Amino acid sequence: MENKTLVMKGITKSFPGVLALHDVDLEVRPGEVVGLMGENGAGKSTLMKILTGVYQPDSGTITWGGKQVSFTTTRQAQAAGISIIFQELNNCPNLKPLDNLFLGRELDRKNSPFLDLKMMQKKAAEVFKYLDVSVNMDTEVRNLSTAHQQMIEIAKALLTNASLLIMDEPTSSLSDREVTKLFGVIAELKSKGISVIFISHKLDEVFEITDRIIVLRDGENMGELVTKDSTQKQLITKMVGREISNFYTERASKATDEVVFEVKNLSGPPYIEDVSFSVHKGEIVGLAGLIGAGRTETARLIIGAAKKTKGKILLDGKPVEIRSPEEAVARGIAYLPEDRKVQSLILNMTVRENLTMSIHKVLTNWLGIINRTQERGITDKYIKSLDIKLTNREQAISSLSGGNQQKVVIAKWLATVPRLLILDEPTRGIDIHAKSEVHRIIAELADSGVSIIFISSELPEILELSDRVVVMREGKVCTILDHKDATQETIMNAAFSGSANDVKETA
Amino acid sequence: MAKKQARGWSVVSAIVKQRESAIFLALLIMMAIIQVMAPNFLSGSNIYLVSRQIALVAIVAIGEFFVILTGGIDLSVGATMGLAGVASAGAMAAGLNPWLAILFGMVVGVLIGVFNGWLVSYVLIPPFIVTLGSQEIARGTILIYTKGWPITNIPKSILFIAQGDFLHIPVPVWIMLVVAVIAQVVLTKTSFGRRVYAIGGNETATFLSGVNVKKIKFFLYVIAAFTASIVGIILVARFESAQADAGTGWEMQTIASAVIGGTSLAGGSGSVLGCLIGACIIGILANGLVLMRVSSYWQTAIIGAVIVLAAVLDHFRKT
């Protein structure tokens, strides 16, 4: 394995309507561990996907070991010695470690089509010795711990002679002891001149393992920190940025004291624990946190899409059992899911059919026959009130723009006349104009007395709309902030470290 | 005048754009070719026989179609037909009132659907496996009960449901029309039908919209078993006996009818009319090949080729 320097210079990449990366530089020297930090959507994974050949940059150059390269597949990147280990491990759980290690690169006996098992076993033993870990080779990978599965991924990368390893959130599902072990392996790699790009949301770990930290924000490189000379506070400031945009206007809340909805000690799969908060009549409660903090999962437990193991849900102070989305709708709780195409839209149907999907109860007679006149009337009413741009209510939902599709989905839930509306990333993937319209709609709904839980990964809109902000981290509520105390800094501090103030001043 | 003509033209173009139009055209071309090659094709007696046969396939195909609309499959309809037939014939042979015996046969057949629907919707076993298993269970039950012998002595009073006619049209064709109209109304006018299409289009979104997806999927298998049972009993009246192997292979014919008629096996699209045309194509093709004296070995291969061709054309139409 030769040790090479990676230089990415002036990388720019845009997707339709979004500038994902703008003029980003990144350098990694042999034997260096570089942390890559930033909020959700800052461009970390896009940058890594460009490096490993998943995407092509619009402009900019990548130099690897002094030579300019441009990978068009991850396989090419691998062959050149750059491997990525994804957060979601990419293995075949039904196969044994050896099969996974050599998947797609099986060794054959000379001049024969048969596998050279002996050689593969020998090489596997070598690489695990090198990493100083022992893995049970006689069981299927699914029976191994996440930590061991990760070691197999690392070993697999080393078998392809990787000299640069990218680890995307490698510690997200490891125990403390396993993390220590992983860091031992990273130190080992480092001492052999192998470089690591370490992507993580956990500040402590980044400060423990990296040499330098590069911060991305909104697709731009915000500069780098030398780890040993920096504090966590400096890092957060860099990630969040100083300027709070004045684009958003203050909302005069009309929330009342009446508690409409409350969860108490809600727990359930996959990792939600003791979540408690309440929502008042006409109040917007923002639900903030990093990806994987458990916001969507909490919503799914509330509407009965997943089964809670513990805890109570109270409507108007009375405990209710909600076992399915059907029962949630019947009780006046509406949930707008985060992934529009996968969870909200029925693409082969018309705008009208999508819009009225949740109100068949209102539209049907005793025979179950839908009253078309009433259905058209309701559809037209919402097309008008939400200003949905379309030529015809009978056109396919798939032919609308993302923003208008989302408005149809919002209309679908408004038509159920909900008391509690849970909005999960309602502005994701829609343009600026549609976004401000959605914000206006949300504010108006709250003012008309609807209680709203607003999940978003974009702090500015959380701050703009929320009366209170519930910050979640690793499946738990870590803090609840009043509107006046909520800032990007307090929220991010809580999301990263578990409390609004408790950020270590030390390096 | 010009305006009227323009409107007439737009109606024509709307019809042409319907997916059913293409297969209907294919059906007409096929019929023309068969008529040229075998002039007795369009004779009254042949049409009478063919329409009765097509009607039976179409009734089962409509039930199967409901299941396929949600992306499911029911391989047990053929065996369900057999079991419903044997159960009602057995009850008749035991001296039960023939109409009560028919009711009994329907209940036994529908129980297969309840079994399928429960395992698919609530226990979440893949429909292919569940209905493959229930097919064997039903077939085995028939053999245990009949030991392979036909049940005869069917009361004359019920034979008209297969052999009779009304206004010169066979009774099974009337039954098919009733089933088709009900299916069409359910699918296009009711909440249930809307939800069936929605589940086929996006099951997750439908569930999160507050629809009881499990309950609907459960009833689809019951519907498929119900239509299969109707035809199983008509076959008893048709042959004046219940055969142990009645309905064998019908699952393939009915799935093929739906697919040829433009139903997507992935779910979410297709129509009752398409199913009917699909059943016509299969029935008339089989009949035409006989009239043209094509060997029965070739017939099987040709029908198979038509099914594959329909699937390939459907794939290209989509992409």
Judged by CB atoms closer than 8 Å, whether chains meet at B197 and A329 is answered as: no
Q: Decide if A97 contacts A89 (C-beta within 8 A).
A: no
Contact A346 B205 (CB under 8 A): yes
What is the value of ipTM here, to two decimals? Answer: 0.84
* Nearest-CB residue to B202 (from A346, A368, A412): A346
**pLDDT at res. B317:** 66
Q: Which helix (H) or strand (E) holds A73?
A: none
B212 in contact with chain A, both atoms CB, cutoff 8 A: yes
| Residue of chain A minimizing CA distance to B212 | A326
d(CA A302, CA A395): 33
On whether any CB of chain B is under 8 Å from the CB of A328, the answer is: yes
E strand or H helix that includes residue A267: strand A259-268
B210–A305 CB contact, under 8 Å: no
Bigger pLDDT: B15 or B171? B171
> CA nearest A60: which of A84, A43, A38?
A43
Instruction: Look at residues B92, B144, B111 and name the one whose alpha carbon lies nearest to residue B229.
Output: B111
Among A181, A187, A153, which residue's Cα sits nearest to residue A167?
A153
As a residue count, chain A comes to 507
pLDDT of residue A503 exceeding 60: no
Say what the pLDDT of residue A417 is: 94
Instruction: Answer whether residue B2 shows pLDDT above 60.
Output: no
Query: What is the 3 state secondary structure string of A97-113?
Result: HHHHHCCCCCCECCCCC
Q: Is A494 helix (H, G, I), strand (E, B) or coil?
A: helix
Task: Tell me if B210 and A328 make a contact (CB, 8 A cut-off).
Answer: yes
A259-348+418-497 has the same fold as A6-93+160-240: yes
Query: pLDDT at position B318, please?
Result: 62
Q: Is the dihedral of CA B254, B260, B262, B267 positive or negative?
A: positive
Please say if the pLDDT value at position A56 is more than 80.
yes
A61's enclosing H/E stretch is strand A59-64
- Measured in angstroms, the CA of B265 and the nearest CA of chain A are apart by 14
Calpha distance A346→A357 (Å, rounded)? 9
Residue A238's pLDDT is what?
A: 83
Residues 6+ apart with CB under 8 A from B6: none
pLDDT, tens digit (0-9, with 9 covering 90-100), for A466-490: 999 999 998 999 999 998 888 888 8
User: For A88-109, how does the pLDDT look when each residue is reduced to its tens digit (9 = 90+)?
Assistant: 778 888 999 999 998 888 888 8
Examine the pLDDT at B319 and tell me if it is beyond 80.
Answer: no
Mean pLDDT of chain A: 88
pLDDT digits (tens, 9 = 90+) for B179-215: 999 999 999 999 999 999 999 999 999 999 999 999 9
Domain range list for chain B: 41-312
To test the contact with chain B by mutation, choose from A331, A357, A367, A412 the residue with the greatest count of B C-beta atoms within 10 A, namely A357
pTM, 2 dp: 0.80
Q: Between chains, do A348 and B197 touch, taking CB under 8 Å as contact?
A: yes
The average pLDDT across A459-464 equals 88
pLDDT for A373 equals 95
Contact A341, B205 (CB under 8 A): no
Question: Considering only CA atoms, which of A427, A471, A435, A495 is closest in space to residue A287?
Answer: A471
The distance of A411 to chain B (nearest Cα, Å) reads 12
β-bridge pairing A420-424 and A451-455 = parallel
Q: Is the pLDDT of residue B9 over 70?
A: no
Other Cβ atoms less than 10 A from the Cβ of A158: the count is 22
- CA angle (A495 as vertex; A276, A167 as ends), nearest 5: 125
Looking at residue A43, the DSSP 8-state letter turns out to be S
Query: Using an 8 Å Cβ cutoff, are B309 and B317 in contact?
Result: no
Burial class (CB in 10 A: 0-12, 13-18, 19+), B145: middle
**For residue A324, what is the nearest residue in chain B, using CA coordinates?**
B210
Residues in chain A closer than 8 A to B19 (CB atoms): none
SS (H, E, C) A234-249: HHHHHHHCCCCCCCCC
Judged against a pLDDT cut of 60, whether residue A248 lies above it is answered with: no
Contacts of A365 in chain B (CB under 8 A): none
pLDDT recorded at residue B1: 46
Q: Tell whether A398 lies on the interface with B, counting CB pairs under 8 A.
A: no
Q: What is the pLDDT of residue A507?
A: 35
Res A243: pLDDT: 46
Percent of chain B with pLDDT strictly greater than 70: 93
Angle (CA) B12 B273 B11, round 5°: 10
Greater model confidence, B296 or B166: B166
What is the pLDDT at residue A308?
93
- Region B147-173: what's the mean pLDDT? 90
Contact A347 B202 (CB under 8 A): yes
The share of chain A scoring above pLDDT 70, in percent, equals 94
Q: Are A107 and A190 in contact (CB under 8 A)?
A: no
Section A53-61 average pLDDT: 92
Options 1.10.340.30, 2.60.40.10, 3.40.50.300, 3.30.413.10; which CATH number does A6-93+160-240 get? 3.40.50.300
Domain A259-348+418-497, CATH homologous superfamily name and number: P-loop containing nucleotide triphosphate hydrolases (3.40.50.300)
Are B272 and B65 within 8 A, CB to CB? yes
CB contact under 8 A, A348 and B201: yes
B-chain residue closest to A299, CA distance: B208
pLDDT confidence tier of residue A122, bands split at 50, 70 and 90: very high
A115 vs A133: CA distance, rounded Å: 25
**Rounded Cα distance, B215 and B233, in Å:** 27
The least confident of A317-331, A457-471, B67-81 is A457-471
Does pLDDT of A306 surpass 70? yes
pLDDT for residue B11? 67
List the domain boundaries for chain A: 6-93+160-240, 259-348+418-497
Mean pLDDT, to the nearest integer, of A212-228? Answer: 89
A253 pLDDT exceeds 50? yes
Residue B197 sits at the chain A interface (C-beta within 8 Å)? yes
**Does A265 lie at the interface with B, CB-CB under 8 angstroms?**
no
Give B209's contacts in chain A (Cβ within 8 Å).
325, 329, 357-358, 412
Q: With an 8 Å Cβ cutoff, is A92 touching chain B?
A: no
Q: Which CATH class is domain B41-312?
A: mainly alpha
CB contact under 8 A, A346 and B201: yes
**The pLDDT value given to residue A14:** 87
**CA–CA dist A16, A385 (Å, integer):** 28
Residue A324 CA to residue A305 CA, distance in Å, equals 5
Q: Tokens for A382, please give them.
A: 């919402």
C-alpha A377, offset from chain centre: 38
Residue A363 contacts B, CB cutoff 8 Å: yes
What would the pLDDT profile of B270-309 be if each residue is shown by its tens digit?
Answer: 999 999 999 999 999 989 999 988 888 888 888 888 888 8
Chain A: residue whose CA lies nearest to B201: A346
Interface test with A, best of B69, B188, B191, B264 (most A CBs within 10 A): B191
Above 80 in pLDDT, residue B233?
Answer: yes
Reported as a single tens digit per residue, the pLDDT across B69-104 is 999 999 999 999 999 999 999 999 988 999 999 999
